[in-house]
Amino acid sequence: MERSSGVLLHISSLPNKYGIGSFGEETVKFSEFLRSMGVKYWQTLPFGTVDSCNSPYKSFSAFAGNPMFIDLETLYKKGLLTLEELEDNMVSDPYVVDFEWLNKTRIELFRKAYGRIDDEYRKNILKFAKENRYWLYDFSLYMTIRDKNQNKEWYDWEDRNLKFHETEALKKFRAENIDEIMFYDFLQYEFFNQWQEIKSRINQKGIKIIGDIPIYVSLESSDVWGNSHLFDLDEDRKPKFISGVPPDYFSEEGQLWGNPLYNWKAMKKGRFSWWIKRLENALKIFDMVRIDHFRGFSDYWAVPSDAKTAKEGHWVEGPRMDFFNQVLKKIDRNSIIAEDLGDIDDNVRNLLKETGFPGMRVIQFGFSGDESIHLPHNYTKNTVVYTGTHDNNTILGWLWEANVNERNYALEYCNYEGNDWGKGGYYSQSCRAIIRTLWQSVADLVVVPIQDLCGFGSDTKMNKPGLAKGNWGYRITSDQLNQIDKSFVLKLNRLYGR
């Protein structure tokens, strides 16, 4: 990995007139903004659909994209939307994604666009569907059956043959509902077509995209419904154990994620082909991918499905190098970043060393009083380091909420001797001192969330782990982006060879 810098901002957080960031010109403008600062990487969150809590880490498919990112003005230019429809979908609040409003209005708008496609467009959709049959066939079927069942989850469908993915029942349903199924093919075609065109323009500006892959998938997904043998389910296809992590920095009770666990024996029997296809699909979308919760490939926390808290779980040995030996036959080692945060032991460290992937460090974790691996003087070259991730507080918010000893340690460590650390505004000098310290480090890549470049407080956090509601809605405005001191970041990149 080259010595460089990056900025973390999800697509949904981009400025946009239509309620959520999309694959429109705002993405190109943001890449130009990054280039003007000498930044080479743009890191995002997962591109999949979101769940009822708006989390992109629990989607209806590990392969499908979030249709909310489809750019409305691009559809208008194609003649699929009217000017009046564009104007009707403009919103006045530029600071928050209104997921409730989007869920009520956006899919119906897309149905209008779908109703206007011509024969040539339909041929392009069919070609795309054929090329992506290995995941799209199940996904579009799944979403359509779900619509016909009043949005009930697949394990609650009344038709047992559809519920259990019986081939003949699926063929019959498909024949009877082909137009509705093709609507979901249309959404995925438009999602991937728009993104590939936009990404090409971003790459031409010298910016590479780092994506994010959650290690687990949702029980309420076409992946589990269509590939139940690859997951640790009972005869009724209910999870025996569910995912989570033991108590950690973010939660005293641990985190109960609730995803079904993998049947790694079945995965291995198939040479991990499902996972390899998943990674290959991700690397068609992104230039690099961060695998979330990498430690789950070493040992994973298995919690009984009826447990009240994650504390009731236990560690189970994961697939380790059996998995990555197969993956690395197909996937470029340099395209993967391992999220190795949390409860890390020698097994995880050894696995990371064997794979050769860069791990992660977060400076906020470094000042608890121990000789932490998250302190910059302990970084190694093959590492990606952050002021914080989407799960962390902002730098300013963290300084406000840290205890006195931790805060003083951090400010002294980062050579900040002023007295304005608690002042608001777009860029307090205390935030700059911490950012500069990361830029000076030996780590190959340093990434900073956009909120920290702005010097924003805790009210702009993307996610609060352990809380189901009120997350993922943060958006930045064009005015706020324009007030960032680009010369400061450009100077850091030049001064420290990034």
Catalytic annotation, residues: 292, 339, 391
Rounded CA separation 84/112 (Å): 13
Residue at 260: amino acid letter: P
Rounded CA separation 315/348 (Å): 13
Asked if 206 contacts 287 with a C-beta cutoff of 8 angstroms, the reply is no
Nearest to 46 by CA among 28, 29, 30, 59: 59
